[in-house]
Amino acid sequence: MSAVRAESRLLEFVRGMTRLVDTQGPDEPRLLAGAAPLMKTLVAQDDWLPDAMAQPHPTYYQQHLLYGDPLDRFSLVSFVWGPGQQTPVHDHTVWGIVAMLRGRESSQRFTRDAEGRMTAKGEAQVLVPGELEILSPTEGDVHQVCNALPDRVSISIHLYGGNIGRIARHVYVPGTTEVKPFVSGYSNALVPNLWAGATA
């Protein structure tokens, strides 16, 4: 078997993930188990992400759609973090896998206390290239993410069990019971050409 060209790595991931959702349906544990090694393979090489999906914004983190399944069964997104950039505390309402590609990312989990206030749960997890974080609404998927490097851009690749840019989700105000609805959308208007440089 010939080596996968850099331009084809994204296409190979999409093919593998499409086969997985075709065979496993909505079975979350099986999808997570099957998708994790696909994500590990994707971020094992840092030569495939299009430059347009790796550029930071001076003020806001960027959320670039790399691929969206036409049936909204999954989406793949690159998150580009400038120094000091972070998300609010938020949920996903669908399963997800975060895979680190460049730099470092810190994820702090949150949970409700006895009074219903959102509070930090345990220590923050710091991801380095090649490492994964699994998110599941059934086990608690509320967290806050930030660039763990003060002077460099970090990039993580996120896989979700739905079209995350279109899903109604929630932002939480730590230490309170306040909840705000939001739909994230995407930073990009165009998605990568999966077939650029790919062989049949």
For the chain, give me the number of helices (H) and strands (E)?
2, 12
Round to whole Å and give the CA distance between 178 and 117: 8
Position 96 in a domain: yes
Confidence band for 197, pLDDT divided at 50, 70 and 90? low
- Residue 1's pLDDT is 34
Q: Is residue 188 part of a domain?
A: no
Q: What is the mean pLDDT of residues 110-126?
A: 95
In-domain check, residue 137: yes
Region 152-174: mean pLDDT is: 97
Domain membership flag for residue 62 = yes
Asked if residue 127 belongs to a domain, the reply is yes
Q: Is residue 91 included in any domain, yes or no?
A: yes
Backbone angles phi, psi at 43, to 5 degrees: -90, 0
Region 30-42: what's the mean pLDDT?
98
Tokens 């749960």 map to which residue?
A: 121
CATH of the domain at 58: 2.60.120.10
74: containing domain: 6-182
Q: How confident is the model at residue 200 (pLDDT cuts 50, 70, 90)?
A: low
Is residue 115 included in any domain, yes or no? yes
Note the pTM of the prediction, 2 decimals.
0.94
1 belongs to a structural domain:
no
Fill in the amino acid letter for 109.
Answer: R
Average pLDDT, the chain: 94
**Residue 198, pLDDT score:** 58
Domains in the chain, number: 1
